[in-house]
Amino acid sequence: MSEPTPESAPERGEEESLGSVGAARVVVEEHVSDCRTSDFVDEPMLMTFPHLLVRECVAFLGLSIFLVVMSLCFDAPLESIADPTRTPNPAKAPWYFLGMQELLQYYPPIVAGVLFPALLIIALAIIPYFRVNIERPPLWKSAPWTQVASLWGVVAGLSGVFYFTGSVPIWSLMVPLWAVGLAMTAGALPWRRSRLGIWLQTRSLAFWIFAWFLLAATTLTVIGLWFRGPGWRFTLPWYDGFY
């Protein structure tokens, strides 16, 4: 990598391909054809320098501006000094833990605080090793109605679990579940031609599970953030204010 020197640099625009770069390209091409993107070679390409680097700089600048403006406009909160003898009411965790704090309402700590997060992390970590419907043939390709029936069987079963095992029914997990179930069922309807229909049909099972996870996590967090007041009772943000 040391022999090309600035002096020997060809003039601008010259298309000569370099020995080393060319070799690297062969490697890349072999590699990529293994990855099934054989159309790689024909695709329009750009030089990383400057095109990608400039874009990255712009993205970074945008982020910096956003953060600086945030920091100038909003001060980070600082409450009174820690007092081990007095718990504030309500005691809210940072927002990224509020979903879990919500669940702590319904289940004992070992379930809501240990089992759920552990299962979640393990599930996330191993998602790609499952070959569940991985290449998206329509979920409902064969025997749509039996499949829809079993889908709702599962939905009903899970709803039962969330209804009965929590200290109170956990609507914030059930409603997202039903929403996902409805969307999946919509995918089984015979509207092949429409774009939305095809999109719904070709989502994999993993997609739907993940969608439920996202919906449920968002719901739990939003409830914890805005709808919980003193004593962790349900409240409305315009009623009790924000905590």
Partner 1 sequence: MRKIATALTRSRVWRSVFRHGFPDSNRNRSLAIFSSFFLHFHPVKVRVRAIAFTRTFYLGGLALACFFILTVTGTFLMFYYHPIVPSAYNDMKDLQFVVSYGMFLRNLHRWTSRTMIALVFVHMAWTFMRGAYRHPREFNWTIGVGLLVITVLLSYTGTLLPWDQLSYWAVAVGTNIVGAIPIIGAKVKLLLLGGHEINDNALLRFYVLHCVVLPLTLAFGVGLHLWRVRKDGGIHLPELPPRRDDVGDENYASTRADAGSPESSDAPHENA
Partner 2 sequence: MALIDDLDVPMTEAELERRRFLGLLGSGALGLAGIGTMVAGVGYLEPNAPYEQATRFVVGRPEAIVPGGVLTLREQRVYVVRGQAGVYALSSVCTHLGCVTRHGLGQSEIVCPCHGSAFDMEGRVLSGPARKRLPRLELTLERGEIVVHTTSQVDDDTLLEV
Q: Which residues bind partner 2 (CB under 8 A)?
A: 84-91, 101, 104-109, 113, 167, 230-233
CB of 5 to partner 2, least distance (A): 25
Preceding amide of 50 cis, omega within 30: yes
CB-nearer residue toward partner 2: 5 or 87: 87
Distances (CA, A) of 90 to 101, 167, 208, 230, 240: 12, 20, 35, 5, 12
Single out the residue of 65, 71, 119, 132 in contact with partner 1 (rule: CB under 8 A).
71
Stretch that binds partner 1, among 123-131, 161-169, 176-184, 229-237 (CB under 8 A): 123-131
Q: Which of residues 200-219 bind partner 1 (CB under 8 A)?
A: 201-202, 207, 210, 214
Q: In the 8-state DSSP scheme, what is residue 140?
A: T
Question: What is the spatial distance between Cα 148 and Cα 139, in angstroms, rounded to a whole number?
Answer: 10
Judge contact between 92 and 223, C-beta under 8 A: no
CB of 201 to partner 1, least distance (A): 8
Q: Is 51 in the site for partner 1 (CB under 8 A)?
A: yes
Q: Is the dihedral of CA 220, 221, 227, 228 positive or negative?
A: positive
CB-nearer residue toward partner 1: 196 or 214: 214
CB-nearer residue toward partner 2: 4 or 88: 88
Single out the residue of 19, 23, 26, 59 in contact with partner 1 (rule: CB under 8 A).
59
**50 Cβ neighbours under 8 A, 6+ residues apart:** none
